[in-house]
Chain A
Amino acid sequence: MAEPSTAAIYRRLVAAQVRSQASYRVSFALDLFSNVVFLGADLLTVLVVFHRVPVLAGFSLTDALLVFALSSLGFSLADLAVGNIDKMQRHVRTGLLDAVLIRPLGVLWQLLVLDVGVRRLGRVVSGVAVLVVAVRLAGVPATPANLLLLVLTPVAGAVFFSAFFVATATVAFWWVDSGELSAALTYGGRDFTSYPMTVYGGWFRHLLAFGLGFGFVAYYPALILLDRTDPLGSPAWLGWCSPVLAAVAAALAALVWRTGVRHYRSTGS
């Protein structure tokens, strides 16, 4: 018999997780549904803001909607894939981490697939829908470059947010109440990226956009799609840099994660 590939094993594990969660039918349906509602609520916030102020810091409602949609889809994808990593501390406490360490597979991947939040799929689906609508409303021309960017940006955004989730959750190895920090940074980052950056003031904008890299999740790519120059004066090619940034973020997160596991194995807590 041929050796099954590692990817095939993980696919099976994800499928098992889907079956597990689907075994609680009502709860599963409610969760799927509530995640759609959550996205609706987020969307409503943007709409309300722009209803009061039709043009905000140089961006119209339709432009802002595109920024929101790109950020939201990237975030939902990350949330679907790795969102449950914020239960890291619980995994340490319940011994799931030990159970995972005695199996012949990578630790992080196992934790991710053993706990993948299938119920968050609803959010991804509605995120795609919102993006399609936003692209239409903003009148983004369907050039090959734009289409590429429309695929690349949410994926890079997802990798970027995932890296943030993992890196901040890893703090659980050192600091018990890391859940709060993790939530503040990731959800804070998402909220930052949901609006055109021009609405934020000086040092705060610089810190989040460049210091933490959140500017590349939605804002710069959106400028290219909208065919606009940055009111803040940055060059247009920045919009194509998000995959590079996502790769850097992923590498850093992997480093933090490895350090965390090494720490766990030397301290047992």
Chain B
Amino acid sequence: MNVIEAHGLRKDFTVRVRKSLLRRERREVAAVDGVDLIVQRGELLGYLGPNGAGKSTTLKMLTGVLNPSGGAVSVCGLTPVPQRILLARRIGVVFGQRSQLWWDLPLRDSYELLRHIYRVPAAEHAVRLRRCRGLLELDPFLDTPVRQLSLGQRMRGELTAALLHGPEVLFLDEPTIGLDVVSKQAVRGFLAELGESGDTTIVLTTHDLADIERLCRRIVVIDHGRVVHDGGIDALHARYGSQRRVTVEFDAPPATLPALPGVYLAAATGPRLTFTLDGTASVGTLVSALSALGGLRDLSVTEPEIEEVIARLYRSEGRAPS
């Protein structure tokens, strides 16, 4: 079942550019420029893009905050803006920059208030809260006013707040931004578990590549308001020429080297050779060809960093006018 369906989703903003003291020019800018997105129940989707690519704007359209300028969108079978209140009960949202908690009250009080706002039966609420308390280790600061919490504690509190009404979809805008390593791991571990249970669909935007590698089987990358990639991490590697490296050491420098498609010799210092492989080449083929030469002593394979891939992606797709 498709939990999220967007076709040709767009959002235009009018910006006024100051030309001189008095003259201002109005210009239409497409923040989201025809996004197609289908997300099925239980998926854990990473929504990526450089700053200003349109990630948050998309999220705001999916959650009913902003009205799309064009295209069709449905979440949980509802049209977000006209059915905002119905939708609000069925989704959970964490905006990293904006708290859902009551700043001056103990964390526990916020949860009690949210229980009433979302009209959650007390028993159901208690079960969910108990689960979050355990998994996110909330107990040490459950009675502390939110303003005194550390950022990591607060984010764990926010996640809980977004889940207490049992949402079908959880939208997370930069959930790990600014967190220390321990808190990041706690949040990631929690999301991974939530994702594995398969009941909750999760859409998260992030700049943290470890989040992606740990959590997302599917990645949608947008830039300039358009989807430039939709698929798994492997597909991303294959498509954007992420290069694996194979480093080998022979007893003596070999006289001839195998010529394989997609394999390039990057460095050779005596008996030590480094090859780079593009997305089409196979490590196995290269290794068997090299071992056939005889005298192979050592071998190591370096997987490409997702970081590198994303950087490459932003650069190549980025600034070119379409």
Contacts and interface: CB of A to CB of B under 8 A. Distances in A.
B65 A98 contact: yes
A33 B38 CA distance: 57
A151 interface: no
Interface string A42-67: 00000000000000000000000000
Interface stretch (B80-88, B149-157, B233-241): B80-88
A102 B59 CA distance: 11
Contact of A267 (B14, B63, B105): B14
Nearest to B103: A20
Contacts of A9: 116-117, 119
Contacts of A104: 85-86, 88-89, 117-119
A24 B113 CA distance: 20
A105 B98 contact: no
A119 B88 CA distance: 32
A187 to B, nearest CB: 28
B104 A265 contact: no
Nearest to B81: A265
A19 interface: yes
A103 B88 contact: yes
Contacts of A101: 63-65, 84
Contact of A265 (B67, B85, B97, B116): B67
Given A12-B116, A103-B117, A265 B105 contact: no
B66 interface: yes
B221 to A, nearest CB: 22
Interface in B33-78: 57, 60, 63-67, 69
Chain A interface mostly helix, strand, loop or mixed? Answer: helix
Interface residues of B, number: 37
Interface in A80-136: 94-96, 98-99, 101-105
Contacts of B104: 19-21, 23-24
A235 interface: no
B250 interface: no
Nearest to A11: B116
A260 B13 CA distance: 16
A232 interface: no
Contacts of A266: 66-67, 69
B98 A268 contact: no
A102 B91 CA distance: 9
Contact of B66 (A16, A99, A265): A265
A94 B88 contact: no
B88 A20 contact: no
Given A1-B122, A8-B116, A104-B118, A268 B102 contact: no
B314 interface: no
Interface in A18-37: 19-21, 23-24
Interface in B98-115: 98-100, 102-105, 109, 113
B69 to A, nearest CB: 7
B84 A99 contact: no
A94 B14 contact: no
A255 B93 CA distance: 29
A12 B63 CA distance: 25
B195 interface: no
A202 interface: no
B145 interface: yes
A3 B63 CA distance: 25
A102 B105 contact: no
Contacts of A150: none
Contacts of A95: 95, 97-98
A104 B105 CA distance: 21
Contacts of B121: 1
Nearest to B121: A1
Given A12-B113, A20-B103, A103-B88, A3 B119 contact: yes
B98 A13 contact: no
Nearest to B63: A102
Contacts of A267: 13-14
Interface of B: 11, 13-14, 57, 60, 63-67, 69, 81, 84-86, 88-89, 91, 93, 95, 97-100, 102-105, 109, 113, 116-119, 121-122, 145
29 contacts: A1-B122, A9-B117, A9-B119, A16-B102, A16-B109, A16-B113, A19-B104, A23-B105, A95-B98, A96-B98, A98-B65, A98-B95, A98-B98, A99-B98, A99-B99, A102-B63, A102-B65, A103-B88, A103-B117, A103-B118, A104-B86, A104-B117, A262-B67, A265-B66, A265-B81, A266-B67, A268-B11, A268-B57, A269-B13
Closest 9 CB pairs of A and B: A20-B104, A95-B98, A104-B88, A265-B67, A101-B65, A104-B85, A102-B93, A104-B89, A23-B104
